[in-house]
Structure 1
Amino acid sequence: MKRLLLAAAATFALAGLSTADTAPAAPKTNLLANVKAGEPMRMVYELDARAMILIIPATGRASFDVELKPNTYTIKSKVRTTGLADVFVNYNMELASSGFVRAKELKTSGYVSQNRDGKKNRRVELSMKKDGFTMTANPRFGDLGDPAATQEQAILANDPLTALITFALEPRAKGADPCGGPIRVFDGKQLTYLHLENKGTANVKSPAWSGQAIECHVTMDKIAGYKAGEVNKDTLTGIDGPLRMYLAPLENGSHVPVRIVADTDRIGKVTLQARTLRFEPLQTASAQAGAGGAP
């Protein structure tokens, strides 16, 4: 799950960073509230990863296709990495999640993860309801951690895809910390809380977005589902210092990570940068039928 979060989120070479005393202007709209009000939306989001192993470049990419309807959502994702030791491994993952749209958040109902790493090629299927969850894994996990996540703990979290996207889309209240959080993540086995600390603003340039971004430092709280002795460690394995995440405060009320930077203890700096980020109206079957029947 750790590697998925890096490749995704919360799965970039820094240029011209400078801090500022003032935060970006507060957004005027709430994307999720607009979706609930009957404006379906698609979000297309891609992240590229770059690192150097000695003199050999290593790369990765995570793509997300998010469909938001007034009551439900779906997220489809592909994550491919090459040679990013410890932080990333060589694997090819396909993931999907679905659930319910609320005015201020998304909530998981189902999650499927298929990893084709050439070793275990594990498939995980997670189903979440108000009172608990069920999970199947093939091949099965050797154990579910010490301690294992409880039903009560898990249902307060979201799957990794939903956790990342709802973190980006959920509205920040006026005067609230724009970094938001904590991000509560459950992948069927590991339960993790990511805590974010606001470090001001920085100028960020990426292929998908450029401007004054919000700088957040991320630390990890391993709640359950890990090996004995790992619970409550507040660091990301293989990361030297905090993970640095830069959020683009968009006019639609979302705060999307457009750059993520980690200093690793094995291969130096790893940077993720937003390659694609766009929002577009989603044409639903009912909307198309209505348009076809119009005079």
Structure 2
Amino acid sequence: MIVRPALVPIAALTALCWTPGAGGDGAPVPHGETLRLTATYSTSVLVFQVGRIDVTAEVAGGRYAADAHVEAAGLAALFTDFEIDSEVEGRLDGLAPRPDRYGHVERTGNKVRTVEVGFGTGVAQPSAEPPFSSWGEPPASEADRTGTIDPMTAVLFLSQSLAEAQGEPCTGSLPVFDGKQRYNLNLTARGTEEIRTRGWRGEALVCDAYYEPISGYDPEDWPEPGETSHPLRLWIAPVGDGAAFIPVRAHTRAGFGGVTIEAREITLG
């Protein structure tokens, strides 16, 4: 799965970020109770819709799971047949999310590839079918894959940092491995801002995530320095009296015209 900076919003938002809280106090969901979220996002370049993202996420009994479907839509659907289905399962170590497994299926035209990653040993173990012709130059080493998380859990980590009362939200670096490529998301807080989308309106926390490629990239996939200088800006909003923190907008100037993702519908159950 190629994750160039212009596509980072899609990679990040395939994980609807939610905090494992039952209410505004941020307390863990009581055993036997379930917090479930569904959301739909639209992706646009300039004024043209080019994609759609549908996400479901659930936390219950010290476990979390999420799945997402990304597909070309609008103008882009006239020129490409592209979709990704991704999913993650993991556990809550205290309130910190730890993935057990992550996987995605990428379809481009008649080509289909399934990628699976196990995290149970502390070192991400990837597999792909059909196999990649190259694991990158250089490939992600065992040291690179140690202590990493998947792209979906990365946004959950960010959400949890926003829910916690202690510490500065949206700071530090998240080590991400997507099954081939290893990169960091380096976080910077940008305060708050009033925004409005079709699915949500109000004051949102603003967070910049800078994309830092590490390993696992083929030569033609290494981002140009100018591309990585533009962050992914996330607007993350509390819903359900603070039971969840959800990205309601994302934007990056990387790529032609930049990419914007906005929430169209959000349901908290």
TM-score class, shorter: 0.7 to 0.9
Q: Which of the residues 189, 201, 204 maps onto 1:213?
A: 204
Where does residue 134 of structure 1 map in the other structure?
A: 125
The one of 90, 93, 97 aligned to 2:84:
93
SS at match of 2:28: helix
1:222 Cα offset (Å) = 0.9
Contact 1:101–1:107 (CA<8 Å) still a contact in 2? Answer: yes
Tell me whether 1:29 sits opposite 2:19 in the alignment: no
CA spacing shift, 1:51–1:181, aligned 2, 3 Å = same
How far did residue 170 of structure 1 move? Answer: 4.6
Question: Highest Rg: 1 or 2?
Answer: 1
Distance 2:67 2:181 in 1: 21
Deviations 1:126-149 (A, max 9, x none): 112134232221121122122222
Deviation at 1:233, TM superposition (A): 7.1
The equivalent residue for 1:293 is none
Offset of 1:35 from its aligned partner? 2.3
Q: TM-score, normalised by structure 1?
A: 0.74
Distance 1:241 1:219 in 2: 7
| Corresponding position of 1:162 | 153
**Secondary structure of the residue that 1:165 maps to in structure 2?**
helix
Report the 3-state secondary structure (helix = DSSP H, G, I; strand = E; otherwise coil) of the residue aligned with 1:132.
Answer: coil
1:198-255: CA deviation from partner (whole Å, max 9, x where unpaired) = 2222111012221111222221111221235977976656xx7332211114443643
Question: CA 1:227 to 1:186, structure 2 compared with 1: closer, same or farther past 3 Å?
Answer: same
Alignment of 1:265-284 (within 5 A): 265-266=255-256, 268-280=257-269
Deviation at 1:175, TM superposition (A): 5.2
Question: What are the ranges of 5 or more consecutive residues in structure 1 without an aligned counterpart?
Answer: 12-26, 281-295
Alignment match, 1:14: none
1:187 equivalent in alignment to 2:178? yes
- What is the one-letter code of the residue matched to 1:260? A
1:255 pairs, out of 235, 239, 245, with: 245
Counterpart among 33, 44, 53 of residue 50 in structure 1: 44
Unmatched segments (≥5 aa) in structure 2: 15-22
Q: 1:222 aligns with which of 181, 202, 213?
A: 213
Task: Identify if the C-alpha distance between structure 1 residues 175 and 125 changes in structure 2 by more than 3 Å, giving closer, same or farther.
Answer: closer
How far has the Cα of 1:103 moved from its partner?
A: 3.0
Q: Note the alpha carbon deviations across 1:32-91, whole angstroms, 9 max, x for none.
A: x422655321121222112248xxx33211111112121322212111124559xx9641
- Following the alignment from structure 2 to structure 1, what is the Cα–Cα distance between the partners of residues 122 and 58? 26
Q: Is the 8 A contact 1:223 1:232 kept in 2?
A: no
Distance in 2 (CA, whole Å) between partners of 1:255 and 1:235 is 31
User: What CA RMSD, in Å, does the superposition of the two structures yield over aligned residues?
Assistant: 3.1
Query: Which TM-score applies when normalising by structure 2?
Result: 0.80
